[in-house]
Amino acid sequence: MFCSPVKVRDLFALARKNAPCILFIDEIDAVGRKRGRGNFGGQSEQENTLNQLLVEMDGFNTTTNVVILAGTNRPDILDPALMRPGRFDRQIYIGPPDIKGRASIFKVHLRPLKLDTVLNKDNLARKLASLTPGFSGADIANVCNEAALIAARHLSDAINQKHFEQAIERVIGGLEKKTQVLQPEEKKTVAYHEAGHAVAGWFLEHADPLLK
Cα–Cα distance between 113 and 148 in angstroms, integer? 8
Residue 95, CA distances (Å) to 23, 132, 136, 163, 203 in order:
23, 15, 8, 27, 25
**R_g of the chain computed on alpha carbons:** 24
For residue 35, report the phi and psi dihedrals to the nearest 5 degrees.
-80, 160
Helix pair 5-17, 45-58: axis angle to 10 deg: 20
Residue of 27, 146, 194, 205 with catalytic role:
194
- Report the candidate in 130, 116, 25 with the shortest Cα–Cα distance to residue 78: 25
Active site residue 194: yes
d(CA 168, CA 109): 14
As a whole number of angstroms, the distance between CA 32 and CA 97 comes to 27
CB neighbourhood size of 14 (10 A):
12
Q: Which DSSP helix (H) or strand (E) runs through 126?
A: helix 121-130
Q: What stretches of the chain adopt beta strand conformation (E)?
A: 21-25, 66-70
- Helices then strands, counting H and E runs in the chain, come out as 8, 2
The residues carrying an active-site annotation are 194
